[in-house]
C-alpha cells in the first residue's frame, strides 16, 4: 500500500468540492468541527454550467410533491443565506428576485401549461394565468405567436459561478482545509468509514466522511454501500446582451417546446443563459451540434431577437440524478458515512437547506424533521451481510 504521508485526522472530511460539498463544509466549520474538503478544483462541477434558477414553482413535476416542500423551504431561506454568504465571503452572488414567466407557443403547449397551472394551484403555489398579450406586455421580446403563460413571481435566480466562488472563500475564512486532488478510495475499518485515500497515496482520517461527489458519488472506490446517483447531461449556452439591447428580458422566460424544456435566464451583468438539454449519456460532457441547435431553435421560437446576440460559451454539465429525482441527504447505512448528493435539477436551489441539514446531521447524528424523507436510507436493502460482500471495501 502506498502511504506517502499521514495527516492529522479531521472531524469531517468532505469528498467533493462542488456547491453541495462546500456548503456542507462551511456549515460544518461554523459548528466548530475541524473540516477538510478533497477536490482537485473546489468550486467546479455542475455549478459552473447551471443556470441558477431558484424555480420551486415552475419546476414542479407530477409526483414530486414531497420534494416541493423542501424546494420551497430552501427558496425561503435564500435571501438570508445569500446575505450571510456575501457577508462571510465579501462576494456578491447575483441573487435576483426577478420572477419567472412560463409561456405556451401553440395549443398543445397551452393545454400542458393549463395542467401545470392546476397542479400548482392544488399545491398552494402562487402563479397567475396570463393571455399572450399580457405576456408580451411583460416581456416585449416574446414572439408574437405566444398563446398564453404563467407568471410565477416567487421563482428567482442566482449566479451559480459566483455562489461557488463565494463558498470557497467562506470555507477558507472559516478554517476549512482544502486538499486539491482526487479522492481515490474511501477508507473503511471494521464497518465504519474513517477517511479517504488521495490520489498521491495520502491517507486522510476523519471522524465522519461526507460524500458529496455529485454525479460521480457512486464511483468512489471502497464504497460498501450503493449510492444510486447517475449523470444526467445538460448542455447550456451563454449569450451576451450588449448594453444597447438592455433590458432584453426582465425575468426568466421558459417553455416546453415539442416536449423539451427550454429556459432563458437574464443576469444583471448582461449574461443570458439558455438551457438545457436533458440526456442520459453516461459521463459524456461533449457539447454537440444537435444540442446547441435544439436549444437555439427552441429559444428562438420564444424570443426571436436572440439571433442578434453574441454567443460566448457552450458547455455541458452532469446533474446528479437519483431514482426519485430527490436528493440523498444525511447518514448512510455505513456508520461514519453521510451523503449529500443526488440533487438532480435542484442543486443550486437546495444549497441553503442542504447546508443546514448536514450541519445538524454532523453534530447530532439526526436529520431535521423536514429533511427526513430525503434520507439515503430510503434506498437501502436490508441485508446484514451487506458490508462484507465487496472485495477490497476496507483499507
Residues of this chain that interact with ligand GLY (CB under 6 A) are 51, 53, 59, 234, 275-276, 319, 345
Give 51 or 164: the residue with its C-beta nearer to ligand GLY.
Answer: 51
Smallest gap from Cβ 199 to ligand GLY, in A, equals 30
Q: Are strands 177-179 and 183-188 parallel, antiparallel or unpaired?
A: unpaired
In the chain, the DSSP E strands lie at: 10-15, 35-38, 53-54, 100-104, 128-131, 148-152, 156-157, 177-179, 183-188, 193-198, 203-211, 230-240, 252-257, 260-266, 271-275, 311-321, 328-331, 337-341
Residue 33 or 53 with smaller CB distance to ligand GLY = 53
Three-class SS state of 258: coil
Beta partners for 60? none
Nearer to ligand GLY, 30 or 322 (CB): 322
Between CA 311 and CA 193 the distance in angstroms is 46
Residues in a beta bridge with 187 = 195
Residue nearest to ligand GLY as judged by C-beta position: 345
Q: What angle do CA 346, 226, 278 make, to 5 degrees?
A: 35
The Cα 165–Cα 42 span in angstroms is 9
C-beta of 53 vs 306, nearer to ligand GLY: 53
The HSE-up count of residue 387 (CA atoms within 13 Å, CB side) is: 14
Q: Which is nearer to ligand GLY, 263 or 387 (CB)?
A: 263
Exposed, middle or buried, 6 (CB in 10 Å: 0-12/13-18/19+)?
exposed
Residue 99: partners with Cβ closer than 8 Å, 6 or more residues away? 151, 152, 153, 154, 155, 156, 251, 252
Nearest approach in angstroms of CB 278 to ligand GLY is 7
Nearer Cβ to ligand GLY, position 99 or 234? 234
Tell me the closest approach of the beta carbon of residue 319 to ligand GLY, in angstroms. Answer: 5
Closest contact distance (angstroms) between CB of 249 and ligand GLY is: 17
Rounded Cα–Cα distance for residues 259 and 281 (Å): 19
Q: How far is the CB of 287 from ligand GLY (least distance, A)?
A: 15
- Between 10 and 127, CB nearer to ligand GLY: 127
Dist CA 268 CA 270 (whole Å): 5
The region that residue 164 occupies, defined by phi over 0 for left and psi between -120 and 50 for alpha, beta otherwise, is: alpha
| C-alpha cell read off for 86 | 456575501
User: Nearer Cβ to ligand GLY, position 178 or 263?
Assistant: 263
User: Between residues 222 and 231, which has the closer beta carbon with respect to ligand GLY?
Assistant: 231
Cα–Cα dist 204/208, whole Å: 11
| Rounded least distance, CB 10 to ligand GLY, Å | 32
- Distance in Å, CB of 393 to ligand GLY, minimum: 33
Provide the minimum distance between the beta carbon of 52 and ligand GLY in the complex, in angstroms, as a whole number: 9
* Smallest separation (angstroms) from ligand GLY to the CB of 55: 6
Amino acid at each position: 500500500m502506498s502511504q506517502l504521508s499521514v495527516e492529522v485526522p479531521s472531524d469531517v472530511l468532505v469528498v467533493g468540492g462542488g456547491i453541495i460539498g462546500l456548503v456542507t463544509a462551511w456549515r460544518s466549520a461554523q459548528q466548530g468541527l475541524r473540516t477538510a474538503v478533497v477536490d482537485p478544483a473546489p468550486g467546479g462541477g455542475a455549478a459552473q454550467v447551471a443556470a441558477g434558477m431558484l424555480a420551486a414553482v415552475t419546476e414542479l413535476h407530477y409526483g414530486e410533491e414531497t420534494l416541493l416542500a423542501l424546494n420551497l423551504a430552501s427558496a425561503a431561506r435564500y435571501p438570508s443565506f445569500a446575505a450571510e454568504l456575501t457577508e462571510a465571503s465579501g462576494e456578491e452572488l447575483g441573487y435576483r428576485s426577478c420572477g419567472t414567466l412560463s409561456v405556451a407557443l401553440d395549443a398543445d403547449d397551452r393545454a400542458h401549461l393549463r395542467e401545470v397551472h392546476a397542479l400548482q394551484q392544488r399545491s398552494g403555489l402562487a402563479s397567475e394565468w396570463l393571455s399572450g398579450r399580457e405576456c408580451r406586455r411583460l416581456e416585449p421580446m416574446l414572439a408574437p405567436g405566444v398563446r398564453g403563460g404563467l407568471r410565477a413571481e416567487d421563482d428567482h435566480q442566482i449566479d451559480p459561478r459566483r455562489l461557488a466562488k463565494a463558498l470557497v472563500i467562506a470555507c477558507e475564512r472559516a478554517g476549512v482545509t482544502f486538499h486539491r486532488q482526487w479522492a481515490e478510495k474511501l477508507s473503511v475499518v471494521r464497518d465504519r468509514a474513517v477517511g479517504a485515500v488521495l490520489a498521491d497515496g495520502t491517507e486522510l482520517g476523519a471522524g465522519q466522511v461526507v460524500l458529496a461527489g455529485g454525479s460521480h458519488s457512486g464511483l468512489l472506490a471502497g464504497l460498501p454501500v450503493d449510492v444510486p446517483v447517475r449523470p444526467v447531461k445538460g448542455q447550456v449556452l451563454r449569450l451576451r446582451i450588449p448594453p444597447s439591447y438592455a433590458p432584453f428580458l426582465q425575468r426568466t422566460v421558459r417553455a416546453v417546446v415539442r416536449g423539451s424544456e427550454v429556459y432563458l435566464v437574464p443576469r444583471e451583468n448582461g449574461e443570458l443563459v439558455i438551457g438545457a438539454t436533458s440526456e442520459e449519456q453516461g459521463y459524456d460532457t461533449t457539447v454537440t451540434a444537435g444540442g446547441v441547435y435544439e436549444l437555439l431553435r427552441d429559444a428562438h421560437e420564444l424570443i426571436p431577437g436572440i439571433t442578434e446576440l453574441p454567443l460566448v460559451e457552450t458547455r455541458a454539465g452532469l446533474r446528479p440524478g437519483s431514482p426519485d429525482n430527490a436528493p440523498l441527504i444525511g447518514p448512510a447505512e455505513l456508520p461514519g458515512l453521510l451523503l449529500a448528493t443526488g440533487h438532480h435539477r435542484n442543486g443550486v436551489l437546495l444549497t441553503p437547506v442542504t447546508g443546514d441539514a448536514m450541519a445538524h446531521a454532523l453534530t447530532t447524528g439526526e436529520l431535521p424533521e423536514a429533511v427526513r424523507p430525503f434520507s439515503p436510507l430510503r434506498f437501502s436493502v436490508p441485508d446484514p451481510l451487506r458490508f462484507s460482500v465487496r472485495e477490497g471495501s476496507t483499507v
